[in-house]
Structure 1
């Protein structure tokens, strides 16, 4: 049974694991970006091939994962039937995606086609792991995924660091991802078989396959636009740049935003999305309550992160990265201001999906894609990485605004409460910013981060912006 307490416990356990994983991942990114022989050029090449493979892998999923998790969450006892049928559908999709990815790479990017092929194999394996963990998510057993992501990340770092020391070839960084993902698949397969007696294998059950295929079109639109949003800017930046260096510079702030958005909101929504689907048919009031808590939590985290980085971003990047990454400072500050809109689009988008309004989720993100591509084409040739950063910020503002418009009637009852909470968070963040500006001549950036956190949360507590009821559920 989905309850606020079980959701909170799942979330805090999974969030804890993802926080650790993202810390390790971020340190690893910092390490190889500063130690690759080609510097920003090598970093840009690595990020490009991963983005290219991910972009073309759209064909290999088409939103099937979202369909599977939604239906399995409604009927957990049917999880094995859904996932086996889903794998029967995915095998031909994998083949088609592989032909498109590798074929286009050989035609348009012959010099990196080998790297793109390796990256595509990793994307396929990672998608298989995601599906297997989807069965556990439907059962609200996120603790196993928490263990799996940590094991996978540690293996990636171990192989990656050794590879850089021995060769410096970015090919071995992709090998590290491949080995870690294979181990992750073996782990989750063992858990499903031994703990839950679920035997996962492709099975063409006609009725289930037809049902999933019927549900794909609406979810496919969502999956396609999300994948494009997450990858097209890097592909376009490479297209309009003379070399891979611009992609490397852009990857620094993008890594920060990705690390944060794949930790807090992703972990939270991993627990919340099945509950949204469940409560949609059971309790409208419960659905609004969970949405409000989620929205307030993400708002209270994202805004001070953006404001804090605006105050301390120069010092942080100069201290952590080589001098060649200094041009990334301004784009980083611009991109970090998109963080609140990225965070808040998680609950709005997942709410639309859970209440069978996924077409509207797709429309919001389609607006974003049109804006992103148009702005990138217009801004990158003249402003380079800064132009790409502005385009990304404008895109995420548009996506959140569109989502908010589509759910306005459903959340109208709690709209006033959300606005009051936002005002408290913004005011507390302004106080934090003033404190950081005042104290910056007297302390190092790492001390200022701690001081900023203290000032912000004290101010938020004074303004009664901390939801004690939600904290009690977490505990």
Structure 2
């Protein structure tokens, strides 16, 4: 558990950087670039990134799982890494061909051909992506240090280079080159450790194993990436810009909680492969408690402060999206709980077919609601489609998990209601700060910091719910709260 704690703290620092760094870039970019140019970049970025999901072919999740299982066997590990990267090169070539076909059909949405050039650069570099290796090795120290450094350099580049509405191409270029740098550093580390050689024959043999996970990855990415594409088809570029930044706020903030599941996934796989059932239950119980304890106040905080967040970070031209942000404030909580059911439980235990069936239903529902909602109600309709489809996926995942053997913890009513109760204190805190009539930015900062400090003080100083964080062993026997009917409800 000590190693998991360390990895969790490292990944938390990485997740916080995903939240804190955009606080410096989003307000700046929203004021320098127009909603239309932001919409062009969002459309191109989402469109290209979805084809990296096609190229990924399920290798990300499968690679983490296999590296976690074979990391103590150097020969098997080298064979696995070589075969999976080689397979990724082949699937990337196919994805680039598909991308070219669809880009031609949707060429009217790419008025600047240089945007396409940058998308191609990203797709070609992504053929050698191997982030899964480092997650499988639980190398979170390297992942955090590398990512934070690249993000800092990206922020500096945005402030130095993006100076006018015509600089949207530079903005997209910085996004692309940041990703390319990450891919290059990862591949260099793998080659330096002599873990890679081209093995296309070995890669092809993995197609059957990764096929189902590939479908899972593609369907999972549809609401996350194609929402901007669908919006671009049924609405204007300006509407895409209004929607994109709204959803970006909740997704970035929600990643602080959902990224914690990346820490647990390789550890859970390792425990399952060694048949350590009690330790497995302990880690899963710790994971769901962590999610409920922090996703709940996050969603409530976004809803409460939406009217302050939008003017401060996006400017007055985006004030119309405040109701949209309040609507999708529930998204971080729903997404986090849904991912808990899918990743460390269904996928880690090779139950990807159950998850695939759930995703098919959810994605069909999303497309139906997205096209209709986006066409008739614009950004608000798309937000509603995203929220409904994700809620349905959560319920389907929960039903699948309850069918699994092993009496695994799926919820903690006690932690949820305590988190809800503590979060309700945000309202008087915010009301009191409003009486001070502070300027917009200092006022928002005071509200956020006050609510966070209050919550963390009560949780970690007064209550102290996580035994392992304080050096105490967490109980998992029949008398624990984690095994009560309330936790399994």
Instruction: Give the TM-score of the pair, scaled to structure 1.
Output: 0.89
Residue aligning to 2:283:
290
Please tell me whether residue 271 in structure 1 is matched to residue 263 in structure 2: yes
Residue aligning to 2:200:
204
TM alignment of 1:20-39, pairs within 5 A? 20-36=17-33, 39=34
Residue aligning to 1:456:
455
Q: What is the CA–CA distance in structure 1 between the aligned matches of 2:77 and 2:434, rounded to whole Å?
A: 54
Residue aligning to 2:253:
260
Q: What is the CA–CA distance in structure 1 between the aligned matches of 2:211 and 2:467, rounded to whole Å?
A: 41
TM alignment of 1:212-361, pairs within 5 A? 212-241=206-235, 243-266=236-259, 268-281=260-273, 282-350=275-343, 351-361=345-355
Output the aligned Cα RMSD: 2.6
Q: What is the CA–CA distance in structure 1 between the aligned matches of 2:405 and 2:461, rounded to whole Å?
A: 27
Query: Structure 1's 234 and 91: CA in aligned 2 closer, same or farther, altered over 3 A?
Result: same
Provide Cα deviations, 1:387-442, integer angstroms capped at 9, x if missing partner.
11111111221111111111125588565971221121122222333443455333
Question: Structure 1, unaligned stretches of length 5 or more?
Answer: none
Q: Is the 8 A contact 1:218 1:359 kept in 2?
A: yes
Q: In the alignment, which of 13, 16, 20 is matched to residue 19 of structure 1?
A: 16
Q: What is the CA–CA distance in structure 1 between the aligned matches of 2:393 and 2:12, rounded to whole Å?
A: 25
Partner SS for 2:197: coil
Partner SS for 2:198: coil
Instruction: Give the TM-score of the pair, scaled to structure 2.
Output: 0.87
Query: Structure 1's 176 and 450: CA in aligned 2 closer, same or farther, altered over 3 A?
Result: closer
Query: Structure 1's 136 and 321: CA in aligned 2 closer, same or farther, altered over 3 A?
Result: closer
Q: Is the 8 A contact 1:424 1:465 kept in 2?
A: no
Count residues with an aligned counterpart. Answer: 461
Residue aligning to 1:69:
64
Q: Is the 8 A contact 1:431 1:459 kept in 2?
A: no
TM alignment of 1:119-130, pairs within 5 A? 119-126=119-126, 128-129=128-129
Residue aligning to 1:40:
35
Q: What is the CA–CA distance in structure 2 between the aligned matches of 1:117 and 1:228, rounded to whole Å?
A: 23
Partner SS for 2:110: helix
Q: What is the CA–CA distance in structure 2 between the aligned matches of 1:161 and 1:107, rounded to whole Å?
A: 35
Query: Structure 1's 56 and 205: CA in aligned 2 closer, same or farther, altered over 3 A?
Result: closer
Q: What is the CA–CA distance in structure 1 between the aligned matches of 2:227 and 2:176, rounded to whole Å?
A: 25
Provide Cα deviations, 1:57-105, integer angstroms capped at 9, x if missing partner.
3331221221122111111133321121112212221121111112221
Residue aligning to 1:106:
104
Residue aligning to 2:147:
149
Partner SS for 1:361: helix
Q: What is the CA–CA distance in structure 1 between the aligned matches of 2:126 and 2:12, rounded to whole Å?
A: 20
Partner SS for 2:402: coil
Q: Is the 8 A contact 1:311 1:437 kept in 2?
A: no
TM-fit CA distance, 1:335? 1.1
Q: Is the 8 A contact 2:307 2:322 kept in 1?
A: yes
Q: What is the CA–CA distance in structure 1 between the aligned matches of 2:124 and 2:338, rounded to whole Å?
A: 26
Q: What is the CA–CA distance in structure 2 between the aligned matches of 1:414 and 1:438, rounded to whole Å?
A: 43
Of the structure 1 ranges 427-436 and 270-279, higher mean CA displacement relative to structure 2 is found in 427-436
Residue aligning to 1:170:
168
TM alignment of 1:288-437, pairs within 5 A? 288-350=281-343, 351-410=345-404, 413=407, 418-437=412-431
Q: What is the CA–CA distance in structure 2 between the aligned matches of 1:150 and 1:423, rounded to whole Å?
A: 34
Q: What is the CA–CA distance in structure 1 between the aligned matches of 2:28 and 2:128, rounded to whole Å?
A: 28
Of the structure 1 ranges 15-24 and 403-412, higher mean CA displacement relative to structure 2 is found in 403-412
Q: What is the CA–CA distance in structure 2 between the aligned matches of 1:233 and 1:26, rounded to whole Å?
A: 23
Query: Structure 1's 473 and 70: CA in aligned 2 closer, same or farther, altered over 3 A?
Result: farther
Question: Structure 2, unaligned stretches of length 5 or more?
Answer: 438-442, 474-489
